[in-house]
Amino acid sequence: MRVLFSAWAWPPHYYPMVPLAWALRNAGHEIRVAGPPALAEAITMSGQPAVEVGEDCDFSQLTRDTMHIDRDAPATVELWKQLRKPKGERALQMFVDIAETMVDGLVEFARAWRPDLVVHGPTTYAGPIAAAAVGVPNVRVLMAPDIAYRGRDIEPVLLRPLAERFGVTEFSPQGTLTVDPCPPSIQLPTDYPKQLMRYIAYNGPAEVPEWLLEPPSRRRVCITWGTTLAKVNPNLVLAGQMLEAVAGIDAEVVVTVAPSHREHLGPIPDGIRVVDALPLHLLLPTCDLMIHQGGNGTTMTGVVNGVPQLIVPQFPDQAFVANQLAPTGAAAVLLPEDAGPDTVRGLVTDLLENPQWRAGAGRLADEANAQPAPTEIVPVLERLAAREHATV
């Protein structure tokens, strides 16, 4: 079986599909991963063959345009409230614009290579169009709670002009099948065909540092702030503010940050360890708490490792994820405008000392890790492709 994976040029949107690509390849199937040139390195570093399609776009600028953000605007209460407001059709149109930059190349490659399945992320809209153009099923792989489901009526309308360029009149942005790695207790109720899958955390390649091989001598707190916010507006990065708030607590604090974003942390208090882009799937198994902005991959990596979370959401998708997680007792949510040092410090102390948080995170991790491994759903995808071939 030939399986074509596709993602747009933002590695966190590719990473959730990597374990499934490994599982299919280990089962003997041919894999290609198509994306814009900027994604090629992330693809090849994950051990898969890359196919460059389309052209790169400036996602940071698209985000600023969609959310009406000035790159240098100060972080005010008014800005935080504006940013968290749902963007609806405007946000979906941004992903349609991204699809526009890669759909021609993806369809061209699909028609030449003739895959049996096309696998894509929830906002890689070029994927379902390419699948329909060559008459094969498309499999959508979710990253976290399915925020795109709320736009299910708008997606086909926005994508129809793109699809019609290739003679496609019937296509499914939600997929012939959706692979869902999200624990059901934090997922939206949905009505599409679904296959549950265990979330296997992959956050990119790395070497394990020597200090991480030793058991922590104290409780360990991870602070991370992703990569998107610093590129959109550096003033939105609150990792430095969190550092200041937790300095001096009875815990080891580890900050993992992209090297280019270190400058946004500000002065580093004594006793805090700052590491360059250490993947969370290596660090979090040793942690007692994580503090972050609510990115999909960050949140889900914390979920499967049973780590209590303090989420400070800034964008609508982050607020959505945080609100889905909070009722489980695995996470506390604090709005940016309320995240003063005394409040953060008090909440961090409670998250570390109150056993209810660890219990809630443990229950959610047990639910997540009870779902089928990627290797177990390979036969499901094989049957899906075979069934479609049989009806042609």
Using one digit for the tens of pLDDT, what is the confidence trace for 335-348?
999 999 999 999 99
Helix, coil or strand: residue 291: strand
Digit-coded pLDDT (tens) for 361-376: 999 999 999 999 999 9
Residue linked to tokens 């610093």: 230
Instruction: Say what the pLDDT of residue 392 is.
Output: 52
Beta-carbon contacts of 159 under 8 Å, excluding residues fewer than 6 positions away, are 96, 99, 125, 128, 129, 171, 173
Question: What's the pLDDT tens digit per position in 286-324?
Answer: 999 999 999 999 999 999 999 999 999 998 999 999 999
Distance of CA 273 to the CA centre of its chain: 25
How many other β-carbons are positioned within 10 Å of the β-carbon of residue 21?
A: 24
Domains of the chain, earliest start first: 2-198+372-390 (3.40.50.2000), 210-370 (3.40.50.2000)
Give strand pairing partners of 34. Answer: 6, 51
What average pLDDT does range 142-153 have in this prediction?
94
Q: What percent of the chain has pLDDT over 70?
A: 99
Token look-up 């049973």 returns 306
Beta carbons within 8 Å of 296's beta carbon, 6+ residues apart: 12, 16, 143, 144, 317, 321
> Phi/psi class of residue 260: alpha, beta or left (left: φ > 0; alpha: ψ in -120 to 50)?
alpha
Q: What is the pTM of this model?
A: 0.95
Kindly state the average pLDDT of the residues 29-47: 97
Residue 334 vs residue 65, higher pLDDT: 334
Contact between 41 and 58 (Cβ < 8 Å): no
